[in-house]
Structure 1
Amino acid sequence: MEEKPFLGLRTVIYAAPDLSATKAWYAKALAIEPYFDEPFYVGFNVGGYELGLIPDASIVEGSTVSYWGVADIDKVIQRFLNLGASIHTDIQDVGDGIKTASIKDPFGNVVGLIENPHFSL
């Protein structure tokens, strides 16, 4: 059997031209402090996955949207909106109890959210 090329999501990196402000916003939005904090990269451990911030926006130019699992999409979106994010795509019921949406953080990064009652680690 051929080896599968992907092992699963490990890291999502967002542009952070103002690293200090972006770090502060994500620390508040995620209710955690970064575990790695350097001038060239800030990393948060989010449920065993990496959410990284880099000041060099050219590295993530043309990036795709990654979806972070949430238990209650309405509640999480409201939390992010209260912290200055905006709606990128409205909540969509994509069937079988699964909902998706995306927000833009105050720095222009698109953050995907998915509420999937069938997913478990």
Structure 2
Amino acid sequence: MLRGFATISLFADDVEAAGAWYAELLGIEPYFARPEAGPPMYLEFRVGDHEHELGIIDRRFAPHKNLEPSGAVTYWHVDDLTATLATLESMGATIHEPRTPRGDTGFVTASVVDPFGNILGVMYNPHYVSMLEGKGPNV
């Protein structure tokens, strides 16, 4: 039924500033913007091994009005969780959930709040690595 992420949406009061922050973090520019001219109300990046879509939307269009970080946390696989957290903190993100081992099989998660109020989950995920290496879903 659920086949994979299509688009992950983040919200920001200043879409242009959020887009610049994520462009620096990701090392890529957004490939899509609306409107095409003037201040953006929506930006979209294609991220990672499967080109998942990460959209940044003007907060005026958020379906919820909660201004506190909340909601589902999407975890992005990273190869070096410690280095990623250090980079995120150096860019102004704050720790939301500290580095947390999940059992004894190598899964480790953490999350930060970006400077725009969104929760960004990061994790080292042995399953993800195994799938990329063509070894299947078992770890």
- Cα distance in structure 2, aligned partners of 1:56 and 1:79: 25
SS at match of 2:112: strand
Q: CA RMSD in A?
A: 1.5
Residues of 1 paired with 2:115 and 2:88: CA distance? 10
- In structure 1, the partner of 2:52 is 49
Report the counterpart of residue 135 of structure 2 in structure 1: none
CA contact (8 A) 1:16 1:53 kept: yes
Q: % of aligned pairs identical?
A: 41
Match of 2:23 among 21, 27, 49: 27
- For residues 57-115 of structure 1, the C-alpha deviation after alignment (integer angstroms, 9 at most, x for no partner) is 55253631111111111111111111111100000000210100000100110001111
Matched, 1:118 2:127: yes
Further displaced range: 49-58 or 12-21: 49-58
1:86 aligned residue: 94
Residue 11 of structure 1: CA displacement? 1.3
Letter aligned with residue 43 of structure 1: E
For the pair shown, which has the larger CA radius of gyration, 1 or 2?
2
Matched, 1:108 2:117: yes
Runs of 5+ consecutive residues of structure 2 not aligned to the other structure? 35-39, 65-69, 133-139
Residue matched to 1:99: 108
Q: How many pairs does the alignment contain? A: 117
Is the 2:12–2:117 Cα contact (8 Å) retained in structure 1?
Answer: no
Closer, same or farther: CA 57–78 of 1 in aligned 2, 3 Å: farther
| 1:12 equivalent in alignment to 2:8 | yes
Q: Is the 8 A contact 2:95 2:112 kept in 1?
A: yes
Structure 2 counterpart of 1:94, which letter? Answer: R
Aligned amino acid, residue 24 of structure 1: A
Q: What is the rounded CA distance, in whole Å, between the counterparts of 2:6 and 2:79 in structure 1?
A: 20
